[in-house]
Amino acid sequence: MDPPTPPALVTAPDPDHDPEQEITATVRRESGRLGDFIRRRVADPTDAEDILQDVLEEFVEAYRLPSAIEQASAWLFQVARNRIVDRFRKKREEPLYDSSDPDDEDTRLDLALPDPGGGPEAAYARSVLLDTLQQALDELPANQREVFIAHELDGRSFKDMAADTGVPLNTLLARKRYAVLYLRAQLQPIYDELED
């Protein structure tokens, strides 16, 4: 007769395990090397900084997922390589962005809201569009949301924002453009539904 199989060992969660501290420690430890790595491969300092921020934001989001990142350093550098490749592909595929025209269609949302006095259907459509817009604004990275709100809602010029913040004009324009493209993508399904 075989001896009984011992029960599987269940390890209790580590009470000292704090994912936020681990994230902070990893970001502090790796961001200098990672930034140098990106800057050696990307000539434009603004693009390099954007890639670094994107990679770090993605790391924070991914680290909080249930499936743990085994080797944070290797993961960060692989994601950075991917972002660099994506950036070069995108620059080759897209026509050059003329940052001299702040009224370029890529920086305008052109949000068409139904007239609030147009009856219950128009009021409902307006409400749905505004709710979706608010949710999409909340999902934007902070730097894109701030530029969008300052320009669209507060009526500030890109020149004034650049002077006040020290952020280059082209960076502000690019952030606004990314925000507008994201917001359009979020609102388009609502417009499509309303047209049906």
Residue written as tokens 């924002």? 161
- 29 and 70 part of one domain: yes
Predicted confidence at residue 2, as pLDDT, reads 52
- 126 and 178 part of one domain: yes
d(CA 62, CA 69): 8
Boundary residue ending a domain (93, 125, 152): 93
State both tokens at 23.
């994230």
Residue 122: which CATH number?
Answer: 1.10.10.10
- 60 and 84 part of one domain: yes
Predicted confidence at residue 102, as pLDDT, reads 45
- 180 and 141 part of one domain: yes
Question: What's this model's pTM, rounded to 2 decimal places?
Answer: 0.45
pLDDT tier for residue 161 given thresholds of 50, 70 and 90: very high
**Pair 130, 176: CB distance under 8 Å:** no
d(CA 185, CA 109): 11
- 111 and 170 part of one domain: yes
Specify the number of domains making up the chain.
Answer: 2
In tens, the pLDDT along 20-36 reads 788 888 888 888 998 88
**Pair 105, 156: CB distance under 8 Å:** no
In tens, the pLDDT along 85-97 reads 777 666 544 443 3
In tens, the pLDDT along 174-189 reads 999 998 888 888 888 8
- 76 and 118 part of one domain: no
- 78 and 128 part of one domain: no
Residue 131: C-alpha distances to residues 107, 137, 140, 144, 177 (Å) = 21, 10, 15, 19, 21
Predicted confidence at residue 93, as pLDDT, reads 44
pLDDT (mean) for 131-141: 88
Domain range for 28: 19-93
State both tokens at 109.
């949302």
- 87 and 142 part of one domain: no
- 27 and 62 part of one domain: yes
Residue 70: which CATH number?
Answer: 1.10.1740
